[in-house]
C-alpha cells in the first residue's frame, strides 16, 4: 500500500484557514489523474487528498468525479498520523477511515455527505488532519479523470 499525496499535502496549494469564528469556509480539493506529475493508484493505495485545518469543525462535504470510473467505490475519511507523513509516529502504516463517505460509487458523479454524525467527530484541537480517499481497485492515469472533494468547515 502506498500513500499518494495531492498538491495540498506536498505544499504547492494552500488550504483556506478559518479566520472568523462561526464563519463557514470552503475549499475544493482536486486530484487530476491526467497531469504529468499525478500518480496512478493501485488497489489498497490511499490518496491523501485534503487537509482539515487545526481547530476546524467539519460541516458538510461533497464528492464529485469526472471521467470513467467503472464500478469503483471509495471510502473517504480522516487519516491517522501527521499530514504528509509516510507512516504514523510509531512506524505503523497510516490508515484512512470512512467517516465521510463509505462505499461511494465513483461512477455517480455527485455525492453529498449523508453521515450527519461526522459533524461530531473528535480530533485533536491544534492539529491539522488529512482526509484520505481509498478506492476499491486500481485507478490508471487518464486525461479527464478527476476526483474533487469539497469540504465545508468552521472554527
Is 140 within a domain? Answer: yes
Q: What is the mean pLDDT of each run of 10 residues along the chain (155 residues)?
A: 81 74 90 92 95 89 93 94 95 94 89 77 80 95 95 89
Is 141 within a domain? Answer: yes
Q: Give the total number of structural domains in the chain.
A: 1
Is 16 within a domain? Answer: no
SS3 call for 118: helix
Q: According to the model, what pLDDT value does residue 37 have? A: 87
Distance between first and last Cα of the chain: 34
Q: According to the model, what pLDDT value does residue 113 have? A: 86
| Residue 27's CATH number | 2.60.120
Q: How far apart are CA 10 and CA 83, in angstroms?
A: 9
Is 122 within a domain? Answer: yes
Name the residue range of residue 150's domain. 3-10+23-154
Is 18 within a domain? Answer: no
Q: How far apart are CA 133 and CA 47, in angstroms?
A: 5
Q: According to the model, what pLDDT value does residue 74 have? A: 95
Is 17 within a domain? Answer: no
Report field, pTM of the whole predicted structure over 0.85 = yes
Are residues 53 and 128 in contact, defined by beta-carbon separation less than 8 angstroms?
A: yes
Amino acid at each position: 500500500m502506498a500513500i499518494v499525496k495531492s498538491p495540498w499535502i506536498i505544499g504547492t496549494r494552500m488550504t483556506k484557514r478559518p479566520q472568523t469564528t462561526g464563519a463557514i469556509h470552503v475549499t475544493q480539493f482536486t486530484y487530476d489523474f491526467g497531469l504529468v506529475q499525478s500518480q496512478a493508484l493501485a488497489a489498497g493505495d490511499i490518496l491523501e487528498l485534503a487537509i482539515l485545518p487545526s481547530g476546524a469543525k467539519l460541516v458538510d462535504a461533497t464528492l464529485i468525479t469526472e471521467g470513467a470510473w467503472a464500478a469503483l467505490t471509495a471510502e473517504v475519511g480522516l487519516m491517522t498520523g501527521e499530514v504528509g507523513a509516510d507512516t504514523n509516529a510509531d512506524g505503523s502504516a497510516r490508515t484512512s477511515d470512512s467517516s465521510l463517505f463509505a462505499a461511494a460509487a465513483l461512477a455517480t458523479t455527485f455525492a453529498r455527505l449523508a453521515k450527519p454524525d461526522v459533524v461530531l467527530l473528535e480530533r485533536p484541537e491544534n492539529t491539522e488532519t488529512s482526509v484520505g480517499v481509498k478506492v476499491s481497485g486500481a485507478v490508471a492515469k487518464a486525461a479527464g479523470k478527476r476526483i474533487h472533494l469539497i469540504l465545508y468547515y468552521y472554527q
